[in-house]
Amino acid sequence: MLVKWIRCTVVDRRGFERGQRKWAGLLGEPGFRGQGGGWSRRRPDVAHVFAFWESRAFYDSFMARAHDRLAASQAGTFKDAQVKLFDYRFDVKTGFEPRFADADVARVAHCRVHAERVEHFALMQEKVWNPAMAGSPGMLRGVFGEAPGHEFLVLSLWHSAAEHGKYRTERVERLGLRAQTEADVAAMAGDVVQLEPAWAV
C-alpha cells in the first residue's frame, strides 16, 4: 500500500473546503483505498490530507489521468504544498483500514532517521511504540510507512483529542528513553489534525 501525505497552508478556507469535497471523484478509481484529512490543531491555516493507494502503479496511473481535473477546483486556495509518498511497512495496532468516520483526530509524525539506525528505529516502532499505542484507550488504528532517504511516517487515528492528549502526557517521554529515539532520529516533525468528516472519501 502507498500512503500519500499532503500538507499545505490555506489562503482561501471556503474555496479550499469546497474543492476538498470534489475529491469524492476518487471513488471508483482503480487501486484507490481511501482518503481523509483536516486542519492542524496548532496552526488553523494548515491543512493535512492522507490518501491511500493499493500500489505505486495505480497511483501513477491516476496522477497521469484524472488528478489534474480533480485538483483544478482547489487552484489558488493554498500555497506551500508539501507532498510525500510512503510505502506501507506495517500496521500500528492491527488491521489498518483507511477509514476516518470513527476518528476525531489524527496524529502524524514525520521522522528522518540516521542511516545506520534505520533498522533499530523500525524495530523500536514495532516492539516499543506500537504496543504502547495499541494499548492506549481511544487509539483506533494506524500505519507506519517508509520513504527513500531514511524517512518514516507514523500516522495514528484517535477517537478523541482528549484521549490522544492523555497518551502523550503519560507515556511519550518514558517510551522515548526506552526506544532510544534521540539516538535514531535526525529530525522529527509532527502535528495533531482535527479531522473533517466531509473530507473523507
Architecture of domain 2-199: 2-Layer Sandwich (3.30)
Res. 168: pLDDT tops 90? no
Both ends of the chain: CA-CA distance in Å? Answer: 17
Question: Phi first, then psi: what are they for 128, rounded to 5°?
Answer: -110, -55
pLDDT at 196: 97
pLDDT at 170 over 90: no
pLDDT > 90? residue 169: no
Q: CA–CA separation, 28 vs 34, rounded Å?
A: 11
pTM (whole model) above 0.85: yes
> Which are the contacts of 116, defined by CB distance < 8 A and separation ≥ 6?
none
Q: What is the mean pLDDT of the chain?
A: 95
For residue 30, pLDDT over 90 is answered with yes
- Going by C-alpha positions, the residue among 124, 19, 135, 114 that lies closest to residue 75 is 19
The domain locations on the chain are 2-199
Is 46 within 8 Å of 10 (Cβ atoms)? yes
Integer Cα distance of 108 and 187 in angstroms: 14
The 10 Å CB-count burial string (b at 16+, else e) for 67-105 is: eeebeebbeebbeeeeeebbebbebbbeebebebeebbb
Q: Which of 178, 116, 114 is nearest to 152 (CA)?
A: 114
Q: All 3 cell numbers of residue 171? A: 507515556
Give the pLDDT confidence of 105-139 residue by residue, as tens digits. Answer: 999 999 999 999 999 999 999 999 999 999 999 99
What local confidence, expressed as pLDDT, does residue 95 receive? Answer: 87
Please give the Cα distance from 34 to 43 (Å, whole number).
25
50 confidence band (pLDDT: 50, 70, 90): very high
